Amino acid sequence: MELKSSAYPAGGKIPVRYTCEGENISPALSWEDAPVGTKSFALILHDPDAPREGGFTHWVVYDVDSSTSRIKENTPRQGKVDGLGMQGKNDSGRIGYMGPCPPSGTHRYIMRLFALDTKLNLKPGAPHEEVETSMRGHFVEEATLMATYARKAK
């Protein structure tokens, strides 16, 4: 399984448009070669370099139907998104995508797509800890997309 974004290449720099210094919208994502046995997908965007224990989770998406192979740019910030699935709370306590906004230096932003053998059936707005706990034991495969960002202004 491979995860891609039309907004930036793997290992590349995240364009300002998708950050707190720009429009702060989610990038378009797509994947291919989903494994047999996939019942749903979950996606988590995490900054392991954030200056807090455990890093900072920027986006949580789950119960994405197994027939889906993309997420459109600028996903609405609401718990249930028609044609996509559910979104959880990021570490700022808000539902939906929160773009990169590192306080200093260059941070890595790791998008992880999980193919799962079940639907999680969690309510909209679940925090990433609850989503991650529910996924345990249900991984079929995982794909990652890492990119970096450093703020232009402070």
Tens digit of each residue's pLDDT (9 = 90 or more) over 11-31: 999 999 999 999 999 999 999
Q: Among residues of the chain, what percentage have pLDDT more than 90?
A: 97
The answer, yes or no, to whether residue 154 has pLDDT greater than 80, is no
Domain containing 29 — which CATH number? 3.90.280.10
Q: Which are the contacts of 132, defined by CB distance < 8 A and separation ≥ 6?
A: 44
Distance CA 27, CA 9 (A): 12
Residue 154 lies in a domain: no
At residue 152, the pLDDT reads 84
pTM, full prediction: 0.95
What's the number of domains the chain is made of? 1
Residue 145 lies in a domain: yes
Range of the domain at 144: 2-149
**134 phi and psi, to 5 degrees?**
-65, -25
Distance CA 95, CA 77 (A): 6
Residue 74: exposure state from Cβ atoms within 10 A (0-12, 13-18, ≥19):
middle
